[in-house]
A and B are shown apart, each in its own frame.
Chain A
Amino acid sequence: MIIEGIIEAFKLLFSLNREIYTIIFLSLAISILATLTASLIGTFFGILISISNFKLKKFTKKIVFTFMGIPPVVLGLIVLLVITGPFDGFNLLFTKTAMYIAQTLLVLPIIIGNIIISSEKTQKKILETATTLGAKKIDKIKLLIIEIKPFIFMSVILGFSRAISEVGAVMLVGGNIKNDTRVMTTYIALNNSMGEYSVSIAMGIILLLLAFLIHTLVSRFRGDFYD
């Protein structure tokens, strides 16, 4: 069955089937956009939380770390309740926007949490040294971002992996609508439920190949000295 799946994967890739390409494109587009949005917001808040001293810091960190492991389906449910409740007027249910929101919220704590962990590990010495060299607060933040850059990239990769591979949230808020909100993972889930395992395996292989390709590209652009 696995060999059938591999053959099917190549057939699908070179089939010029519009539906397949739409699914692949939508998966990539939503995951990349959600990861980018979460990276921008997450880096800012991750660094802010790690360098600031405020009353509820420990509690905030606990909340972030808890949300790092939230099951996608639970988050999907929360987004579903919000977009059909207080934000019902925006008609977001079963739209790509809802999928984008859900994935962004899913990736955000992963980025914030990883940046807090890496930043707190290295920041004390770096900030101390920068202080004694006469750096102002803005210089210190700039320096810290540059120094933890490899960790930021690592967090982004982790976030993207979470986004592209999750199924629960996008299924709930996107609805897996053909030629509209169907992505690779929901396509796999659908084919599994219909017993079309070879198609599922094929899409799974494509998903893995894409993830591998993107990770290779990102690590090429990391530009750090740790390699």
Chain B
Amino acid sequence: MIDIKNLSVDLKTIEISFDDFTFEKSKITIVSGKNGSGKTTLLKAIAGLLEYKGDLHVNGEVTYNSQEPVIFNRTVYENISYPLKIRKLDLLEYEEKIWDYCKILEMDHLINKNALKLSSGEKMKVSIIRSIIFNPDIVLLDEPTTHLDLDSINELGTLIRRLKKDMTFIIVSHNKTFIDSLMDVEYKIGGNHVLS
């Protein structure tokens, strides 16, 4: 699904290189490593948000959910349906799915509320649903459990397990219980830093 070979990213002050790796389809890969080891950098490079050197082959549509959710100034429903709207898809066809995901993450009662006014955890859930609603092939989740309470973390795990058949998940997380309940493959990074 994703092949990386001789991949390195120059962050101006530091250059991070990554070991060659293949992320397999329909597998949940956990990217692990110490703080500052380059986990977010890797996800951003895969998402096409950072320039890189080397080979990076991504086979399919990819979406990246950042560790600090970026919420648009509109309702929860409008936030979630944004990727559908820009693809000019029929929202009615997705209505059931939107409600379904919102129910799993217990967001259904907030669907008409302005998303900017929600708590950080609720914003994270909106952002995650918005990332998966349009059926991307590859979902990159950067610290998705940040701001989430224990129940919400379990609900997110349930949702990811349900979707893994059709989507490839690459997740960065420091939450051990969450990782243990989901991980199929682990990709460890770290130690490949060169000061620029």
Contact = CB atoms under 8 A, between A and B. Distances in A.
Contacts of B83: 133-134
A136 B86 contact: yes
A225 B117 contact: yes
A131 B61 CA distance: 12
Given A133-B63, A134-B61, A125 B70 contact: yes
Interface string B53-81: 00000000111111000101110000000
Nearest to B68: A125
Contacts of B63: 132-134
A132 B86 contact: no
A134 B87 contact: yes
B26 interface: no
Nearest to A124: B70
A47 B20 CA distance: 40
A120 B66 CA distance: 19
Residue among A132, A134, A135 with the highest chain B CB neighbour number at 10 A: A132
A153 to B, nearest CB: 13
B191 interface: no
A131 B48 contact: yes
B130 A133 contact: yes
Interface in B120-155: 130-131, 134
Interface in A137-153: 139, 143, 146-147, 149
A149 B87 CA distance: 23
A134 to B, nearest CB: 6
Contacts of A147: 72-73
A132 B72 contact: no
Contacts of A133: 63, 82-83, 86, 130-131, 134
How many chain B residues sit at the interface, stated as a range, is 20 to 34
A132 B142 CA distance: 13
Contacts, number: 48
Contacts of B114: 225
A134 B70 contact: no
Nearest to B48: A131
A138 B74 CA distance: 19
B110 interface: no
Residue among A126, A129, A143 with the highest chain B CB neighbour number at 10 A: A129
A128 interface: yes
B7 interface: no
A128 B49 contact: yes
A132 B47 contact: yes
B183 interface: no
B136 to A, nearest CB: 8
Interface string B166-178: 0000000000000
A224 B117 CA distance: 12
Contacts of A136: 86
Interface string A136-177: 100100010011010000000000000000000000000000
B4 interface: no
A129 B65 CA distance: 8
11 contacts: A126-B70, A129-B70, A131-B49, A133-B82, A133-B83, A134-B83, A134-B87, A146-B72, A146-B73, A146-B74, A147-B72
Given A125-B66, A126-B72, A132-B49, 7 more contacts: A128-B70, A132-B62, A132-B63, A132-B65, A132-B131, A133-B82, A147-B73
Interface of A: 125-126, 128-129, 131-136, 139, 143, 146-147, 149, 224-225
